[in-house]
Amino acid sequence: MTQTRKIPFGKPWITDAERNAVLGVLAGDVLTHGPQAHEFEKEFVAAIGGGHALTLSNGTAALHLAYWQLGIGAGDEVIVPAQTHVATVHAVEVVGARPVFVDCDRLTGNMTPEAIEAAVTARTRAIGLVHFVGIPCDMPAIMKTAAKHDLRVVEDCALALGTRWDGVHAGLFGDAGTFSFYPVKHITTGDGGMLVARHADLAQKVSKARAFGVDRTFAERSVPGVYDVLSLGINYRLSDINSAIGREQLKRLGTILERRARNFAALKSGLTGLEHVAVLDVTAANQTNSHYCLTAVLDGPLAGQRTEIIRRLNAAGVGTSVYYPHPIPRLAYYREKYREDLSRFPNAARISDQSIALPVGPHLEVDDMNYIAHELTKIVRDLTCSKKN
C-alpha cells in the first residue's frame, strides 16, 4: 500500500518568535530565574484567570513540590487515579506517603466524587487527581468531599491547559494545580512546568523550596552574596531561555485550543455511528475539554484487536499513542510494593488495554481528521467482517 499521508501524533509548534526570544535571552545578562520566568508567571495567571503561578523545571517537579510543601508525608494516604501518568503517583511516593488507587469512570477516564469518597480513611490527607487527557473532573463535588474530610487537593493539569468546569480553569479549584511544558503538551518550553497555588502561603513556600530554601531572591539581596537559609530546598527552577519560549507559546494558546477543539469535533463526528468504538469526552455543556487527544475505546469484537488496528493506522501514515498503557498498580514497582487486587480497576484496565489515542494537535487540519476517520472506519469494517465469516 502506498502511504499517502504522514500524520504525526504530536508536533511542537516552534516559530521564529520562539527562536528570536531565545536569542534575545542569550544576548542578555540573566540566563535563569530572571525577568523572563517572572513575566511568564504573570502571563500564565492572566491566561488561566487566577492563582499564584511559579515556573518550575518540569511537571513532575511541580507535583513533588506540591505534596512536599503541603506537608504530606510518611503515614499519610493520598487518593490517586489508577489510570494516569506514573508521575501523578510517583510524586506521592517520593514524599513517603501511600497512594490509594481508585478506578476511573468509563465515559470520561476520570475519578468520580463518589469513588473518591469511598476511598477516604482516617489516614487520608489529600486527593491527587488528574484531568484525564484534558477532560475535567467534577471539581465542585470533589471540593465538597475534600472540605468534608479536611483534605488537601492537588490537580495534575499536565494535559489540561484550557480545561474548565463552569468556566473556571483546571488547577484553580484545589490547593495546587500542576502543569507540564514537555514537547507534546499543549504548549512547550522544551522541558518545563508551572505550579499554580490558590493561596499565597503555599506559593511562598514553593517559591523558596524551588531555589534551595534561600530566604531572599537574587533581586532582593541588598548586599550581593548575603542571604540565609531558613528551610530545606531543592533546585527546580526554570531557566529564562525556557521561559522565553513559553511566553511566545502562550501568545498562541487561543489558536492552539481552537484548532484542537475544531479537530476533535471533526474526528469525533467522523467516528459517530462506528460500532464498537467509543470516544471519551465531557458529559455536559458546563465542561470544557482541552482536547489533548481523542481517546477511542474499542469494544466487543474489536477489544482484542488494538495492536492490529494501530499497525494498520500507522501503515496508513496515522501516528497514534496510548494514554496510558498500564493502570499504575500494574506497573512492576507498584505491583510488587502494594500487591493490589487488579480486578478492582476494570475501567482503568479497559482504557489501558483497549484504547487508542488519536492526534488532534494544532499541526493538523480538518482534512487530516477526515482521513483518520475514513481509515479507521475502513479498518474496523474489515476486521468486524472477517470476524463474522
Among 156, 248, 281, 375, binds ligand PLP (CB under 6 A): 156
Among 83, 88, 249, 347, binds ligand PLP (CB under 6 A): 88
Stretch that binds ligand PLP, among 8-16, 24-32, 155-163, 373-381 (CB under 6 A): 155-163
Site string for ligand PLP, 187-216 (x = CB under 6 A): ------x-----------------------
Asked whether position 87 contacts ligand PLP by CB under 6 A, the answer is: yes
Stretch that binds ligand PLP, among 23-31, 81-89, 260-268, 351-359 (CB under 6 A): 81-89
Site string for ligand PLP, 234-253 (x = CB under 6 A): --------------------
Q: What's the burial of 69, exposed, middle or buried (CB within 10 Å: 0-12/13-18/19+)?
A: buried
The amino acid that residue 193 corresponds to is G
**Distances from the Cα of 155 to the Cαs of 12, 222, 263, 286, 367, in angstroms?**
24, 37, 26, 19, 35
The least distance separating ligand PLP from the CB of residue 154, rounded to whole angstroms, comes to 11
The per-residue DSSP string of 264-290 comes to: HHHHHHHHTT-TTEEE---SSTTEE--
Subset of residues 51 to 70 that bind ligand PLP, contact rule: CB under 6 A: 58-60
- Which DSSP symbol is given to 170? T
* Cα 235 → chain centroid: 22
Can the peptide bond before residue 227 be classed as cis, meaning omega within 30 degrees of 0? no
- Closer residue to ligand PLP in complex, CB, 159/266: 159
Subset of residues 9 to 48 that bind ligand PLP, contact rule: CB under 6 A: none
Residue least distant from ligand PLP (Cβ) = 59
- Closer residue to ligand PLP in complex, CB, 13/182: 182
Q: How many residues bind ligand PLP (CB under 6 A)?
A: 14
- Closer residue to ligand PLP in complex, CB, 47/366: 47
- Closer residue to ligand PLP in complex, CB, 55/84: 84
107-132 CB burial, b ≥16 within 10 A, e <16: ebbbbbbebbbebbeeebbbbbbbbb
d(CA 138, CA 361): 25
- Closer residue to ligand PLP in complex, CB, 58/305: 58
3-class SS of residue 206: helix
* CB proximity list for 358: less than 8 A, separation 6 or greater: 267, 293, 294, 295, 296, 318, 320, 372, 376
Residue with cell 506521592: 92
Residues that bind ligand PLP (CB under 6 A): 58-60, 84-85, 87-88, 130, 156, 158-159, 180, 182, 193
